[in-house]
Structure 1
C-alpha cells in the first residue's frame, strides 16, 4: 500500500488540529493557535502553511537529503 505524501490535517470536536506528514504525526495545535492555523490554511496554499506551522519549511538541505543514498528508491 503506498504511503501518503505531503501534509494533511484533521480537526477534532474540541478544536484540536493534528498535522501529519507522510502519514506520521508532525504536530498538534490547540486553542488559539489551532484557530489561527485554520483561518490561514483556508486562505493560502495548504501545503506551504502546514510546512511553516510544523517547522519543515525551506531548510536548504532538501536537495542534499534527496540525493543521499539512504533516501534513493
Structure 2
C-alpha cells in the first residue's frame, strides 16, 4: 500500500473513532469520495482489504489502523 493511502486510511479511521466511538466499523469505501475519480487507488485499497487481509465488508476502525501500522 502506498504511503499516501496508508496515511489516508489512518486519518479517516481516527476521525470515525473520534466521531462515533471505539467500536465504529468502516469499509474500504470510507477512504474515497462517492465518485470513482481514482480507480487505480480504489483497486489498491480493495486488493489490500479483500485479497491481502481477507477482511469482511465492515471492520472495526481500530483494527484497520493496527493492520495498516503493522503492514510495512
TM-score by length of 1: 0.31
Structure (1/2) with the larger strand percentage: 1
**Which protein shows a greater Rg?**
1
Higher relative contact order (CA 8 A, sep 6+): 2
